Structures are given as C-alpha cells and as structure tokens.
Amino acid sequence: MLSTTVSGAFRIGIQLSAPFLAFGLLFNLGLGVLSRLMPQMQVFFVGMPLSILLGFLILVLVVGAMMMTFLDYVEGVLHILAPNT
C-alpha cells in the first residue's frame, strides 16, 4: 500500500507540474533559437523576467484545475487509508 501511495503521489506531482514543465521546455528552446539567430542580444536578461512573468500567468490560469485534481487525489487516498465502515 505504501508503494502504491508513493507512486500515486509522484504521478499526481508530475501531472500538476506538466504545464510548467512544457512551458519551460518550449520557452528555453525558443530562447536558444533566438540566441543563435541574434548572438548580440543578451537573451538571459530578456528571457528571465519574461519567463517568471509567464510562469505566474500560467499559474493563475491553471490553479483552479490543479487544486481540483489534487483534492480528488487526496480524497481517493483518504478513502483507501480510512474507508467508511
């Protein structure tokens, strides 16, 4: 039961962080291409604040869905650990 709970927690953690992982991968890939196309531009100084801002924007947009997913998972785990008798 312990390994099932831990693997489920890892799965739900990856699911909750998926929008941020995808955004980070695509954004940094885009910054790498931009760095190759315009080497004179300081990509880090432009990219970091933009990355933080867009990360917060994604958080605001998906926080409701993330919390519902998390609460559904916690409810399922609590039903397994403490079933109603």
Report pLDDT digits (tens) over 40-83: 989 889 899 999 999 999 999 999 999 999 999 999 888 888 88
In this model, does residue 85 exceed pLDDT 60?
A: no
The amino acid at 40: Q
In this model, does residue 84 exceed pLDDT 80?
A: no
pTM of the model: 0.78
Q: Which of 14, 23, 10, 8 is nearest to 66 (CA)?
A: 14
Is residue 84 helix, strand or coil?
Answer: coil
The length of the chain in residues reads 85
